[in-house]
Structure 1
C-alpha cells in the first residue's frame, strides 16, 4: 500500500494478517533454530511444531533478522511509494532486532525512524497499529513515531508460565529467580517492565495464578477504553475462557484479540503460556 509514511515491524508483533494488510504494515521475520535447521517465524514453523520440539527437549534457539533483510524491506517499502518509514521492534533487551534495523536504516533510500518499543507480542502490535492509524490519517514521520511511543507508554503486559525454566535457558530471566520458583513449587506471574521480564508475583497453583492474572488485568484496564490481547501457547481453552471473562468484566474493552504466540516467543516461555496485553486508547 502506497502512503506518505509506512510502518515496518517484526514477526513478534503477532498482528492479525488482515489488520496488517488493511494498514499496509510489513513484518520482518525473526528466525527459530531447531537443532541445525533454521526457520522463519510466521511462514516456515508453526507454534504447534515449536511446542512439540520443546516438550521433547530439543535444542531451540532464536536469532534476529539480518541487517540485509531489513534493508530489503526498506527498499521494497520505498519502491511502493513511501517517503518515510517508522520501524517498530521488540525490546532490545530480548533481541538484537532493533540493532539490525538501525544499521539497515542508515543506508535506506528514504528516512527511517527505528524505535525500540520495549514491548513484545501484541504490546508491540498495538504500537505498530497506532503508528499505522496515524499514518493513514496523514501524520508526518515524527507524528507517527509519537503515536507509537504514546501507545507504548500506556501499554502493560502480564503473563503466566507453567515454569520459568524456558526463560532461564534463554537468558530472559535470572537463574536465581528461576531457581526460587522451582524450589518452592510456585506458579509465576510476570510482567514487562522497562523492556525486561520481571517476576511480579508467585502463586501456589495454576488455577490461582490464572485467577490472579485476571484480577491484575481487570484492575489495570480500569473503566476507560482499552484494547486487550490474550496470548497462549498450546493452551487455547485457557485463553478463550480468560478472554470471555475479561470481556464481561472490563467495561471499556474495545478490541479483544485471542491468538497463539509464534515460535520466537514460545521458545522462551514454553507450552502453557497465558499472557494478556492491556493497551489504553
Structure 2
C-alpha cells in the first residue's frame, strides 16, 4: 500500500494539485470581521486580501486537535500508512498539536504507521516539499524513502520574499511600528527569508524593481542546480508581479517551468496583499 501524504492549508497548494497528487490537506482557520472560516474551504485568499485592503485585520488559528484526531484515525483504522508534513513550528502551534494527537493515537493503536514532520517551511516552500513527497509516494517508493525525500527537501528549501506594506508585518509582530512607518515613508521594501523555520529580515531595499532584481540575485547565490529543480513563486493577489519575477528568472537562468500560485488565507493574513515569495533548493533536487 502506497504511503498517503498529509499537509495543512499553509502549504498553499491548489485543490487541483492536491487531487492530482492524492494529497490530503487539513485547514487552518481564519477569523476576520468577527467571522471564522476554514482556510481554502469556505473563504478564498482573494476574499481575505480584499477584506484586508478594506481595513480588515484577520487572525489565524491552528488546526484543531479534534480535526487531527478524526483525520489520523480515519487512516489508522484502514491500516493506511501516512506522513503528515506540517507547517513550520516556529510560525504556528499546528505541529505541536499534531504531535500530541500522534502520541494519543499511537497509545491506542500501537501498530499504527505514521509520522508527523516539522517542515520548518511555509507557503509554496512547504508546498514544494509536500509535492515531492507525494510524487515519491505515488511512484511506490517505500515509507522510509518517502520520509527521507520529504525531510531532505524541507531541510534545503529556501524562502525569499518581500511584502508590499510593512503594516501587515507590524500587526503580526514582525517589525516595530516605527520601522513600518519609516519604511512606508521611504518606500523601503524589506527582503526576508526563513532561517530554521523563523522569518528573518535579510535586507532593506528601496524600490519595487530593485527588490525583484535582488531576489533573482539571491537565488543565484544560494540555489544549486536550479535548472534541475522545481521552483515556485507565491503571491498575495498580484499575479502580474509574480509573472514578472518568473520572467526575470527565466531570462537569467534559462529556467522553463515555474510553479506560480496564490498565497493562501492563513499565510496571507500575516503577509498581506502584494506579497511576493520565491522558493528553491540550496542543495541538489532529489
The reply on whether 1:89 has 2:55 as its aligned counterpart is no
Mean Cα displacement is larger for which, 193-202 or 172-181? 172-181
Which of residues 124, 135, 155 in structure 2 aligns to 1:153?
155
Contact 2:250/2:256, CA 8 A, preserved across alignment: no
- Paired with 2:97 and 2:240, the residues of 1 have a C-alpha distance of 37
Cα distance change, pair 194–177 in 1 and its aligned pair in 2 (3 A): farther
Could you state the TM-score of these two structures normalised by the residue count of structure 2?
A: 0.88
Q: How much has 1:143 moved relative to structure 2?
A: 2.9
Aligned CA RMSD, in angstroms, stands at 2.2
In the TM superposition, what are the counterparts of 1:67-216 in structure 2 within 5 Å? 67-79=65-77, 82=80, 84-108=81-105, 109=109, 110-173=112-175, 178=180, 181-182=183-184, 184-216=186-218
Q: How much has 1:79 moved relative to structure 2?
A: 4.7
- CA displacement, residues 79-132 of structure 1 (integer Å, 9 cap, x when unaligned): 5551x2211111111111101111221233523211111000111112112222
Secondary structure in 1 matching 2:104: coil
- Specify every segment of 5 or more residues in structure 1 that has no aligned partner in the other structure, as ranges: none
In the TM superposition, what are the counterparts of 1:241-260 in structure 2 within 5 Å? 241-251=244-254, 253=255, 255-260=257-262
In the TM superposition, what are the counterparts of 1:214-233 in structure 2 within 5 Å? 214-224=216-226, 225-233=228-236
Give the paired residue count: 277
Contact 2:163/2:275, CA 8 A, preserved across alignment: yes
Mean Cα displacement is larger for which, 14-23 or 37-46? 14-23
Secondary structure in 2 matching 1:106: helix
Mean Cα displacement is larger for which, 141-150 or 156-165? 141-150
Contact 1:121/1:261, CA 8 A, preserved across alignment: yes
- Specify every segment of 5 or more residues in structure 2 that has no aligned partner in the other structure, as ranges: none
Q: Which of structures 1 and 2 has the larger relative contact order (alpha carbons within 8 angstroms, sep 6+)?
A: 2
Mean Cα displacement is larger for which, 8-17 or 171-180? 171-180
In the TM superposition, what are the counterparts of 1:16-35 in structure 2 within 5 Å? 16-35=14-33
- Paired with 1:272 and 1:21, the residues of 2 have a C-alpha distance of 28
